[in-house]
A and B are shown apart, each in its own frame.
Chain A
Amino acid sequence: MADTGVVEALLRRVEKVDDGVDSLEVATSLELDHQVIVGAVKSLQAVGDVISAELRSSKHWELTDEGREIAEHGSHEARVFGSIPVEGLPQSELMKLSFGKIGFSKAMSNKWIRLDKAHEGGPRIFRTVESIEDQVREKLLLLQKGNASQLEEKEKNELKKRKLLSEVTVKTYWIMKGNSFSTTVTKQETELTAEMITNGSWKEKKFKPYNFEAMGVAPDCGHLHPLMKVRTQFRQIFLEMGFTEMPTNNFIESSFWNFDSLFQPQQHPARDQHDTFFLSDPALAHDFPQDYLERVKKVHSEGGFGSQGYKYDWKIEEAKKNILRTHTTAVSARMLYKLAQQKFTPVKYFSIDRVFRNETLDATHLAEFHQIEGVVADYGLTLGDLMGVLHQFFTKLGLKKWVEVGNSGIFRPEMLLPMGLPEDVSVIAWGLSLERPTMIKYGINNIRELVGHKVNLQMVYDKCGWTDFTFRM
């Protein structure tokens, strides 16, 4: 709000006139800077219909820097005249003065002074008249006081040519009374304060309207990572379906548990250096369950449990090699083996954790990603059961249409029977990556924008909507 005194002074001026007043004139008469009056006009406009103000632009003469110097000290020629004493002044002395050169020629043409070139001791200047009238200064002073109308256009143009005057466009307000004009203005409050509530002053106050079009201030908050939020969602679905979480906190796994126990032959391309990260330190695993290991070796190399096996020379050296697990199914194998060592009870297991592939990286593949896995072990499970469980799982996810996001199946007897599980127990399982559904959900095309240190934190701040967890595919 502008200064109350100024606002009231302005209103008193407006009150006196019926057809309005110019803001610049008000400023001149109140001896205030024009911008102060403009501020008062604007604050009055915000209050309501106290005044009506129309923006006008007008041409206006203004003194240049040189013009202002002249208005203060006199024109150069007048100062030259003034600096010459009755006994005259050597020309060389005059030229030393700042205004000397310009003032000399102008005073000469005005015939205020004369030059005696033949004077002994060098050229000397003398006054030719008793007194002079400094019209240039007079005119500039008039202009400076805002009385431009008293000068003729010709005179003003001459001063403009001498670069003492310039013409500027001034924006002013033409101020008239508004419909609810009054000379006193109630100040509008921006905010309710504790003080107003305490003393009840809010009842008398008027409050400035809010701008409801503007955005609010963003809350200062922390954020969970989008991938981890989707992970939480998947975890919740499994828990709702009665699945128990497997301990997958072992990234380093032996080839035995990661491949051999799953009846994955030792020459399988997935066990290649190009696909799997092998460890140099600690390079080898030890302490395998010896009986079980023998049964695994046998089923690979000779068959058994109703299988012909792969009939190749199974090597313990290959099984000992430590790797970064390529799937969480390695943990499922450990869990099922553990289960087989007890009296069998049906189980439902799940896990969501990191797995590693030594693959070529591209927009949708990284060397590590999260695998979601579900496992059910019970007597006599069928393909229909697998399809039924998958349907329930994806329905909970809000996935209307089945798309290729993962794999599912029934574990082979060559995997389960060597563990010692009963023959009539079957195990159904499915797996998918966490990243792919998350990328689909949030519309992210490049996996690097989702995972790893190169993510844009703005994405983490923004990708947060998740009440409706429905995939559109």
Chain B
Amino acid sequence: MPTVGVKRDLLFKALGRTYTDEEFDELCFEFGLELDEITSEKEIISREQGDSKASGASDIILYKIDVPANRYDLLCLEGLVRGLQVFKNKLEAPRYRRVSPVNGEPQKLIITKETAAVRPFAVAAVLRNITFTQERYDSFIELQEKLHQNICRKRSLVAIGTHDLDTISGPFTYTAKAPGDICFRPLNQTKEYTATQLMSLYKTDSHLRHYLHIIEDKPVYPVIYDSNGIVLSMPPIINGDHSKITLKTKNVFIECTATDVTKAKIVLDMMVTMFSEYCSQPFTVEEAEVVYPDGKTCVYPTLAVSVQHCFVLCPPDSESTEKIAQLLTRMCLRSRATGVGDEIEVEIPPTRSDVIHACDIMEDAAVAYGFNNITRTTPRTYTVAHQFPLNKLTELLRQDLAAAGFTEALNFALCSQEDIADKLGKKISETKAAHISNPKTAEFQVARTTLLPGLLKTIAANRKMPLPLKLFEISDVVLQDETKDVGARNSRRFCAVYYNKSPGFEVIHGLLDRTMQLLDVKSARGEGYHIQAADDPTFFPGRCAEIFVQGKSVGRLGVLHPDVINRFELTMPCSALEMDVEPFL
């Protein structure tokens, strides 16, 4: 969930009234948002970097507001205020209009075929006769950053460039060139660099270095030129310094380059709908033409308004269709009841790209209605409950094993390769383990194939506890299995260990006997269970036996090998038992 920080006093000024913190918190809740934190720049710096760094910082009060992940229209002050004013019936939701330039000649952005190799899409638009103030300018920059971090997926899907149109002249060309052939003065630098030099320059830039990987390995880098060969930007890394916008900028050329054209259109719509408010003709946006390599021309911004006819699904209580339509209108979704049954006609503005189904409309209706105002009902769904048989057996066994004096441990399903192989005297290739490709540390290399290492590590962490230590765990391990769609399956295991000054094989053996008694399996060769000597590198030679149930091996028990004990940083003899649970279902 993105968090948007806005200056409280600016917000109140725009809302035309003040609120107490509690009142504003309540308003946010009603609107489906959450006032996450009330703070100031000074407080943030002081918390993150210490009081000394914060001394000069601003102590203007900031509201940090949590916004739902797909509500890009609420990522800046302008959008928040517009949404809240409409919600409070103080403003009618604006209709955004795409207009042709006065001279009839729209700005052109020509895409060349070279871009196909790196970043094939671009869209553009113009904000004409805009008036910036310091606050508006800051918000304009901040919105680009917020969009970059969210819908643009850290500029990988879409990158936004904004330019002072009066410093450049179209038509513009969006092409891709070898990095050595691109040379310009980037934003806030004093001299020109080639793209190759820029990539190494920004290696150490705390902000830009995160975006370099997007194009770094490509043979060509994307670049936008004006008709005089001036570089507007090298997306998705940096703009040119030449066309940078200032407080004095009157006309803004916005381009978005992308690998996902749907998202590029949304991002462009978002930029222009939010800031066209400050144009001399508010909520109008001047169109731009984008010419694709195949000659096809598209006009942007899309600013599409879709009209959806939907039926009231899951109505909150039994509100009338008219009432639902009113609620939706307050959520910036102009609606009216058509009179045909429960049908509502809803106008979805370009700011609401998140509305892709009637259910999204109904969600907004529920938000506006207030979740807490919904009458709780009990579904009449009649069902008979069943336990999952394996879990039922596990629950019964756990209770009785604790009653037998053993204490339950709970260990991680992920561990290192060493834990399940080397430390137990086995080879990793024999374990049938599932391997993780992107573990952040060795603790998460594999899914465990045995419960024993976890229990031994639990003992190692509890060496100061009085002896004997008697532990058990019943849980799943994971084994590769080609017969499954994912190539692996869980296997439920029961493992127990006895750790004391003497090995206590008889204690673990007794626990096996007790477990078999609980499982209604008699001690007998053939029909029942029996154990017989086995060789296993985990166990001390001659002190390991295999457990057979109806002639099938289900596990092993024995006295652990001293090498195993040492590798788990233990000092005392230890006997252990591990067996499958599933054969007893």
Contacts and interface: CB of A to CB of B under 8 A. Distances in A.
Given A454-B461, A455-B410, A381 B378 contact: no
B387 A368 contact: no
State the main secondary structure of chain B at its contact with A. loop
A279 B435 contact: yes
B492 interface: yes
Interface string B461-503: 1100100011110001010100011111110100000000000
Contacts of A279: 434-437, 488
A244 B385 contact: yes
A373 interface: no
A346 interface: yes
A48 B86 CA distance: 90
Interface string B431-457: 000111111100110010000001001
B317 interface: yes
Interface of A: 220-225, 227-228, 232, 235, 238-239, 241-254, 267, 269, 273, 277-288, 303, 306-312, 322, 324, 346-348, 354, 356, 358, 360, 366-368, 376, 378, 380-385, 387-389, 391-392, 410, 412-414, 426, 428, 451-458, 460-461
Nearest to B260: A312
B233 to A, nearest CB: 23
Contacts of A384: 316-317, 374-377
Contacts, number: 242
Contacts of A222: 401-408, 470, 472
Given A285-B485, A356-B414, A413-B359, A223 B377 contact: no
Contacts of B157: 267
Contact of B490 (A251, A281, A307): A251
B316 A376 contact: no
B289 to A, nearest CB: 22
Contacts of A239: 385, 387
Contacts of A389: 378-379
Contacts of A456: 461-462
Given A251-B476, A378-B381, 5 more contacts: A251-B478, A252-B447, A306-B358, A367-B443, A388-B378
Nearest to B365: A383
B434 A252 contact: yes
A250 B490 contact: yes
A273 B440 CA distance: 10
A222 B403 CA distance: 6
Interface stretch (B213-221, B326-334, B337-345, B391-399): B391-399
B487 A285 contact: yes
B314 A311 contact: no
A85 B463 CA distance: 73
Contacts of B260: 267, 312
Contacts of B356: 303, 307-310
13 contacts: A251-B447, A285-B485, A303-B356, A346-B381, A358-B439, A381-B314, A382-B316, A385-B377, A389-B378, A412-B357, A453-B411, A453-B460, A455-B461
Contacts of A285: 485-487
B412 interface: yes
B386 A388 contact: no
Contacts of B387: 235, 239, 244-245
Contacts of A454: 461
